[in-house]
A and B are shown apart, each in its own frame.
Chain A
């Protein structure tokens, strides 16, 4: 899967779960500061991405995923 395909899917998940428009979601957007997520939203987002891309995101790695770009990078690098 190409990075742009991953980006599109990641943005779709975020839009669905956080109830924000896809146009508001930028690669540099911070989940908490820009998109209004709380700690529970982050857990849900991580789980949804794990399922969608069949990757495992350990808790210690999830803590470093603060922006949409962080998520896309992690998935791109770890997807089999």
Chain B
């Protein structure tokens, strides 16, 4: 059970949050021009790294704000949480995403 640092509310228990997979996947524009494969790539395909991972989190039972987190998928260490509009925090030294 993690402690998650909501960028709007601060440290809260994981039960207040939900996690929604990989972050920084914008919806394509002009979708009519995409092939089925390209569309499928957007809808279905996600990286599944063993290591640092940028994820979308929602403070669903709190302020209901979406934000991003940089988390290590093995150690569950949160390197950072950041607002949607914030620049991406760097991956720690020696890590790979």
Pairing of A with B: no
Contacts from A to B (Cβ < 8 Å): none
Could you list which residues of chain B lie within 8 angstroms of chain A, going by C-beta atoms?
Answer: none
